Amino acid sequence: MSPNGNTGTGAPPGDIVIRDVADGDMEAVREIYSHHVLEGLASFEDVPPDAAEMTRRRDALLEQGFPYRVAVQDGLVKGFSYASSYRPRPAYRHTVENSLYVDAMAHRQGIGRKLLQDLIEKCTAMGYRQMVAVIGDSANQSSIGLHAEQGFEVTGTQPSVGFKFGRWVDSVIMQRPLGDGDETLPDTLPDG
């Protein structure tokens, strides 16, 4: 932090800045994600990937043109989000899936909200028409509530599709339109 209190992001101390991910962010991204893998049900992975694997995954998304964003507060990465293909077949090319993770020590500070709003804006500007959230655990009311606040609706619950921490876990599917949604035909074809 500079003597004037600037965090190097151009924002006053305490402000949350959302920006593109950088190579130097990947260790913090790995730490945030590892906590969710080991302690929570947002991810159905059992073993946290190392930094090299997290970077490989990020690079694959960036090569496909998807946004991968981080939330920075006081010079520290406090969360990250990205969009990915919802399904690989061509008919799904106008739909993205979002992923969002916040540092366990930074919950309830508006970081998740800002990351999700930013991702919605980025994907809308790219011409996508639908965004899907696949939320681990039907008891995850904070994530379900955050998505509902941003215009997502529950489109289904898949009971007991995961098994983690010695119990069966649901997935909740939520969806929201982007831009014109299905009200008009697309002018452009994302990814082809």
Instruction: Judge whether 73 lies within some domain.
Output: yes
Instruction: Judge whether 101 lies within some domain.
Output: yes
Task: For residue range 113-165, list pLDDT tens digits in order.
Answer: 999 999 999 999 999 999 999 999 999 999 999 999 999 999 999 999 999 99
Instruction: Judge whether 190 lies within some domain.
Output: no
Instruction: Judge whether 56 lies within some domain.
Output: yes
Task: For residue range 73-106, list pLDDT tens digits in order.
Answer: 999 999 999 999 999 999 999 999 999 999 998 8
Q: How many domains does one find in the chain? A: 1
Measured CA to CA, the distance from residue 119 to residue 67 in angstroms comes to 7
Chain centroid to Cα 15, Å, comes to 20
Q: What is the pTM of this model?
A: 0.90
CATH number of the domain encompassing residue 116: 3.40.630.30
Q: Each residue of 83-122: b (16+ CB within 10 Å) or e?
A: bebbeeeeeebbbbbbbbbbbeebeebebbbbbbebbbeb
Instruction: Judge whether 100 lies within some domain.
Output: yes
Measured CA to CA, the distance from residue 92 to residue 43 in angstroms comes to 23
pLDDT value at residue 10: 58
Range(s) of the domain holding residue 56: 16-177
Long-range contacts of 159-166 (CB under 8 A, 24+ apart): 162/41, 162/44, 162/136, 164/41, 164/44, 164/46, 165/41
Instruction: Judge whether 189 lies within some domain.
Output: no
- Taking residues 52-71, what's their average pLDDT? 98
Q: What percent of the chain has pLDDT over 70?
A: 91
Instruction: Judge whether 183 lies within some domain.
Output: no
Residue that the structure tokens 């990814």 belong to: 191
